[in-house]
């Protein structure tokens, strides 16, 4: 397994959405109110709590990333 690839399905989706938005982990973290390390953890190991998942969804939806995924059938 590639150590740079997320281990958890939600993490893979989060990383893909963040990259589609053209954001670094630090930039997404700033928008959501968490550190770059927290974003890294969510992408690779941990699952964010319900409130943070909502914050992530709203942020990525505002950036049009989730809408693009829906249009692509993802």
Per-residue pLDDT reduced to its tens digit, 20-67: 999 999 999 999 999 999 999 999 988 899 999 999 999 999 989 876
CB 46 within 8 A of CB 56: no
Q: What is the pLDDT of residue 26?
A: 98
Is 59 inside a domain boundary?
Answer: yes
Which residues, in sequence order, are CB contacts of 59 under 8 Å at separation 6+? 28, 31, 32
Band (pLDDT 50/70/90 cuts) for residue 74 is: low
**CATH, residue 60:** 1.10.260.40
| pLDDT value at 13 more than 70 | yes
What is the distance between the alpha carbons of residues 33 and 12, in angstroms, rounded to a whole number? 20
Q: Which domain holds residue 18?
A: 9-71
Strands (E), 18-58: none
Which residues, in sequence order, are CB contacts of 57 under 8 Å at separation 6+? 66
Is 1 inside a domain boundary?
Answer: no
């Amino acid at each position: 397994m590639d150590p740079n690839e997320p281990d958890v399905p939600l993490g893979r989706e989060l990383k893909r959405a963040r990259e589609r938005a053209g954001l670094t982990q630090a930039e997404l973290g700033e928008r959501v109110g968490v550190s770059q390390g927290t974003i890294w953890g969510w992408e690779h190991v941990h699952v964010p709590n319900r409130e943070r998942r909502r914050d992530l969804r709203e942020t990525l939806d505002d950036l049009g990333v989730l809408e693009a995924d829906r249009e692509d059938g993802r």
